[in-house]
């Protein structure tokens, strides 16, 4: 009998049991370490995704929803949009851009927010960090930029058109009007955009409380450029509504090089009239 055979023969059942227990423990410890490493990696990935999403949301893009009709048919109620926050910080605002901005003062009616369940509030907050929810949409408005600083905007001519710096605009590509109506604004106006401000209007031109109907509010209806959160670039939801948002540069062709003309004298009797009855009280749509 060889020495190896003799050694195995000398092993007792107790030795076999101890060896099996030790191996089982080692296998169990190995599985636990593997699970711990897996969970650690998952946590790191989730935290990294949250941080990256937070940074993207803070500095690059944000999501907003549309709760009102003032930008129809470009944007419909319950559309969700992606906003490029590099505008106007790094990229200047252009005429025709659809921009989201904070209320300049008094444009939005107060909205009562009922108390939220703490659990639901936490998940809403978590979703807002990664851009899946937009709980602050009610504090913002969204309109189309018509006039930049120095622009003179007049409405309406004999054909119902609005002009910027004397150049008549054909806005049929995006303006929604009531059936049989050709005027792009219910009321006439003649304004010059002051430095650092914008003149904005909704595409649903007869159903939008925009610059025209906020001339009795702080800023006289003009939106300070510092209030602009960013430019809406994409309809992201619903899926069948997915599309890039155009600023229609051809509509404003020739405006940049045109002479604004004399600044109109303010008329103390020129108060906004016939403001739309359905006050826009909520959301990124204002």
Q: Are 8 and 119 found together in one domain?
A: no
- 252: how many CB neighbours lie within 10 A of its CB? 22
How big is the CA angle at 273 (ends 184 and 251), to the nearest 5 degrees? 20
Per-residue tokens: 167: 């150049």
For residue 279, what pLDDT is reported? 44
141: enclosing H helix or E strand: strand 140-147
201 shares a domain with 220 = yes
List the end-to-end C-alpha distance of the chain, in Å, as a whole number.
95
- Give the span between the Cα atoms of 185 and 153, in whole angstroms: 12
CA distance 188 to 211: 13
Q: How much is the pTM?
A: 0.72
Residue 277 lies in a domain: no
42 and 87 share one domain = no
Query: Do residues 84 and 199 share a domain?
Result: yes
Do residue 50 and residue 191 come from a single domain? no
Residues 31 and 132 in one domain: no
CATH number at residue 227: 2.10.109.10
User: If we measure between CA atoms, which residue out of 49, 55, 64, 53 comes closest to residue 233?
Assistant: 64
Does 243 fall in a domain? yes
Give backbone dihedrals phi and psi of 179, rounded to 5 degrees, phi first.
Answer: -55, 130
In angstroms, the Cα distances linking 203 to 97, 126, 194, 255 are 12, 33, 22, 19
Show Cβ contacts of residue 60 under 8 Å, excluding neighbours closer than 6 positions: 84, 85, 86
Cα separation, 224 vs 95, whole angstroms: 15
Kindly state whether residues 176 and 157 are assigned to the same domain. Answer: yes
* Residue in the block written with tokens 């990935």: 45
Asked if 185 and 192 touch (Cβ cutoff 8 Å), the reply is: no
Q: Is 235 part of a structural domain of the chain?
A: yes
Nearest of 120, 119, 127 to residue 49 by alpha carbon = 127
Looking at the annotation, which residues are catalytic? 70, 143
Omega before residue 67 within 30° of 0, cis: no
Name the nearest CA neighbour of 147 among 155, 158, 139. 155
As a dihedral over the C-alpha atoms of residue 8, residue 13, residue 14, residue 19, rounded to 10 degrees, the angle is 60
Is 20 in the same domain as 79?
no
Question: Do the domain assignments include residue 282?
Answer: no
Residue 199, helix vs strand vs coil: strand
124 and 70 share a domain? yes
Do the domain assignments include residue 278?
A: no
What's the pLDDT score for residue 41? 75
Q: What per-residue confidence (pLDDT) applies to 11?
A: 52
* 23 and 104 both lie in a single domain: no
H or E element, residue 145: strand 140-147
**286 in a domain, yes or no?**
no
The SS3 of residue 228 is strand
Give the single-character DSSP code of 93: -
Q: What is the pLDDT of residue 124?
A: 57
Residue 16 belongs to what domain range? 3-55
What's the domain count of the chain? 2
CA-CA-CA-CA torsion sign (149, 150, 155, 157): negative
Whether residue 236 is found in the same domain as residue 118: yes
Distance of CA 256 to the CA centre of its chain: 27
pLDDT computed for residue 75 by the predictor: 97
Beta bridge partners of 237: 80
**Structural domain includes residue 280:** no
What is the pLDDT tens value at each position of the chain, 286 positions in all? 555 555 455 555 656 666 776 777 777 777 777 777 777 777 777 666 666 555 555 557 888 889 889 999 999 999 999 999 988 778 899 999 999 999 999 898 776 555 666 655 555 555 555 455 555 556 789 999 999 999 999 999 999 999 999 999 999 999 999 999 999 999 999 999 999 999 999 999 999 999 999 999 999 999 999 999 999 999 998 899 999 999 999 999 999 988 776 444 444 444 555 566 544 544 564 4
Pair (106, 178) in one structural domain: yes
Residue 237, pLDDT score: 87
Any domain includes 227:
yes
């Amino acid at each position: 009998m060889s020495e190896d055979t003799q050694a195995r023969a000398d092993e007792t059942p107790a030795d076999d049991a101890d060896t099996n227990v030790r191996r089982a423990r080692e296998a169990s410890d190995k599985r636990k370490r593997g699970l711990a490493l897996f969970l650690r990696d998952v946590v790191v990935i989730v935290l990294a995704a949250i941080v990256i999403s937070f940074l993207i949301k803070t500095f690059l893009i944000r999501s907003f929803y549309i709760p009102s009709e003032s930008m129809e048919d470009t944007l419909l109620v319950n559309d969700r949009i992606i906003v490029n926050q590099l505008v106007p910080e790094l990229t200047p605002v252009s005429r025709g851009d659809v921009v989201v901005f904070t209320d300049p003062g008094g444009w939005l009616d107060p909205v009562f927010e009922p108390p939220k369940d703490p659990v639901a509030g936490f998940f809403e907050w978590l979703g807002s960090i990664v851009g899946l929810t937009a709980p602050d949409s009610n504090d913002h408005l969204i309109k189309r930029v018509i006039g930049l600083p120095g622009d003179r905007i007049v409405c309406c001519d004999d054909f119902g058109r609005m002009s910027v710096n004397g150049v008549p605009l054909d806005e049929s590509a995006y303006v929604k009007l009531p059936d049989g109506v050709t005027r792009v604004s219910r009321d006439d106006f003649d304004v010059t955009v002051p430095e650092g401000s914008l003149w904005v209007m909704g595409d649903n031109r007869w159903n939008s409380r925009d610059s025209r109907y906020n001339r009795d509010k702080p800023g006289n209806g003009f939106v300070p450029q510092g209030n602009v959160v960013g430019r809406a670039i994409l309809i992201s939801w619903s899926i069948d509504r997915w599309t890039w948002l155009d600023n229609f540069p051809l509509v404003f062709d020739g405006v940049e090089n045109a002479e604004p003309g004399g600044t109109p004298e303010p008329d103390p009797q020129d108060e906004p009239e016939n403001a739309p009855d359905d006050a826009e009280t909520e959301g990124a749509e204002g």
